Amino acid sequence: MSKTVTSACVIIPPKKIWEPIQKIRREHDSKVHRWMPHVNLFYPFAPKGEYDRIINDFEKCCNEINAFTIYLKQFKFFRHRYQTYTIWLDPESNEQITHLQRELLKLVPEYNDINQFTDGFRPHLSVGQFTTYKIHDFIARLQKNWEILAFSVNQIYFISRPNTKDSAFRIIEKIKLNQ
């Protein structure tokens, strides 16, 4: 099986709650036009042409996992080199997302790239890239004005984009969780 950065398996919040997220992303996320708000489950992922080969197994697995609610309450950050950071929303309940990803990973263990980070798989919804020495102050300002968002995770998505400079991800497949 091959994998590509032009494909991912993700959780996507419903569009009706995007605006507060997108408001931050439009100002701070260089990939706002490439990616919709999302939580990666697998990235890189199977090329679009291979979705038919794996979708039935994903559907069977997802049918065994109950839908659940995510709350986007708190901002956190990943530190990179040279005082650069990614700020992200921490989706509660991480345990349910981690369980979902772990069960799906059994089907496609070769797509474990995001599990290889030092802390393993960490569900998150990125809102931007930052260069600042006052990251804690910046997060405090974001947090002060933030109203908690909640949504039901009742499906996951296979998304793909053409391999061109300005291409955007599009939903190709929707896979329902047990309702």
What DSSP line would sit under 88-109, residue for residue? EEEEE-HHHHHHHHHHHHTT-G
DSSP code for 161: -
pTM: 0.94
How many CB atoms are closer than 10 A to CB 81? 5
Predicted confidence at residue 76, as pLDDT, reads: 94
Q: Are 107 and 65 in contact (CB under 8 A)?
A: no
What per-residue confidence (pLDDT) applies to 79? 80
- Specify the pLDDT at position 118: 74
The DSSP 8-state label assigned to residue 141 in this structure reads H
Check residue 152 and give its pLDDT: 97
What are the average pLDDT values for consecutive 10-residue runs of the chain, which has 179 residues? 93 98 95 97 96 97 97 91 85 93 96 85 92 83 95 98 94 96
pLDDT of residue 82: 67
DSSP state of 165: T
- The helix/strand/coil state of 35 is coil
**CATH T-level assignment (fold) for domain 7-176:** Cyclic Phosphodiesterase; Chain: A, (3.90.1140)
